Structure 1
Amino acid sequence: MRQGKLTNAKLRELVIDNIEPRNAETVVGAGVGEDCCAVMTDDLCVVSTDPITAGGKQTGVLAIHINANDIAAAGAKPIAALVTLMIPPTAEEEQIRTLMNELAHTARPLGIDIIGGHTEVTDSVTRMVVSVTMIGKPVVKGKMFKTADVLPGDDLIMTKYAGLEGTAIIGSDFAGELGLTAGEQEQLSKIKESLSVVRDGEIAAKIEGVHAMHDITEGGILGAVCEMCEASGTGARINLSAVPVLPLTKKICRYYGLDVYGLISSGSMMIAAKDGNQVVKEMRANGVPAAVIGKAGEEGVYDLSAGSKREITPYPADELYKVLERGL
């Protein structure tokens, strides 16, 4: 493809025609020549942004989910997104169309309008890079949750299962090598549909005694616990044996020699709350699996699952990269 901006005709054909604003909050959406967009809100405006550079075949899906999940962890509902596409000259038009369909298909059931962004063909990248800025409004009017608000004595609750995003990426990109059975392929499809914590965040935001939330992304469980503790100046005592893991994730981790607790886990949320059992009860009543996996303390992060006190530190890089770098 020719470097530089897409022509107006291609911008309309490949990008804008693939999105359709539906929310009442969308005042000005994506359009040729429109450099700004606008949403109407009568509350706090919660904003987050993240790029996807290692999403493999799941790039469009993950680009929406990881940013919507950040908004959800702040106790807000995502309503609108800005999408920036950095496109290598070697890309085909069909790749752009497919990516936009993925983005729109993932955003739609979450109630998110793609309202604008930027597209550019450039040799500064060798593969498609997608960056999303997500806008949200609080579930409870005027209330926002911060990672730093964990209190000593809080129970630490995890929703769903460890390593969901890593399983989705590796399972999709290396299905042939893994020799997945029909049953495992079906489980992989369900995992791909469970990478959102928007529902988890909406439920948790309404529970009395919930103090903080954090979506579990790069670095997995180990990274998420350490990040929450560092942000809040607390410590934690974790029982890693209580962390739920799906059979397919275990198989993938055994095959590639990965530590599931350090594997990227979008689709799971860490919640700090006064009464973890109450949070688990509410989550399960709404169809969201959850488990208490530990408690916040005064200092240090330790795993107590082996009957001894073992200090936890996050890995320098997510376990996912061991597989992606091997596949290059």
Structure 2
Amino acid sequence: MSFARVLVPLDGSQVAENALDHARRMAKASGGELYLLYVLSSLNHNGDSHIDPLDWQLQQARAKRYLDRHAERLSAEGLTVSQHIDEGDPAAQILEFAKRHAIDLIVFSAYGRGDASRFRFGGTVQKAVRGTQTSILIVRPGPAGAVASEQGYRRVLVPLDGSYRAEWAACEVVSLLRSPQTELILLQIIVTPNELPSMRLSGDMAALKERLVAEQLRMGQRYLETVCRRMQSCVKVGTRLVRARSAAKEIVRTAERENVDLVALSAHGGSDESIWELGSVADAVASHCDRPVLIFQDLPTTQPGVSHDDCAHRDLTGLYRPA
């Protein structure tokens, strides 16, 4: 997957501009075109559609000057930039624009002009993220959401679950961010669900459970080593094997513990949730991680033939289940 067309929605706020540097780097890395979109709301401050024509023209002029300023700076860096002003509901217009222009990646700031609230996303971003079938990159305000250096993303966390989709996302990261400065951290999570509070395992059952987990850890380590060997000729690769009760929570914790600059994962991974734009793990990570989260959209599924042995191997190692 090449991000030939990268879209970043802007609303004139400094908070929304947090996404701009990430969009610029993604467009540069893939040699793609950068689209700047400013959506003017068709409602006035009172919530109705009666807008003074003069005020409307002033809003359009301000939006154009704003986009011109950013486009001029980005074009000076050698990027191909186009700027667009639309009118209507911001979330709906972002989705319609992405579809109309065959956008490959939408880079969102988690919040826009409304700034942070008790919700994990701003209202516009929440609706757009839940409604798109395009790959997305979500950036949160603050130091953890900034691009670490001029060299770009130095440490990238990629969760694996043994599925084709997750491995495909890892390969896409390698292809996109191939650099001597980039370290890829492959994370395999062995999920051990909570037992019911009233359940007490007998000695034999408890020992059987521990043997099963030990075997899963052994197979998980072998799986990570196999994937690592395939990728280490392109980038620096490290592996982490963790036993945890929640895959999504462990991804967020590992991202903070390893101080990564980016978390990258497939939208669905091993879960068969193709009817949803985002799988539950990807949704939870995007909602709670303070690091930039790149989610590769994997709909529709196009998966090569897999042998019985491969399926069995994935059954043993693909334990990345939703919390």
TM-score (structure 1 length as normaliser): 0.31
Q: TM-score, normalised by structure 2?
A: 0.31
Query: Which structure ranks higher in relative contact order (CA pairs < 8 Å, sequence separation ≥ 6)?
Result: 1
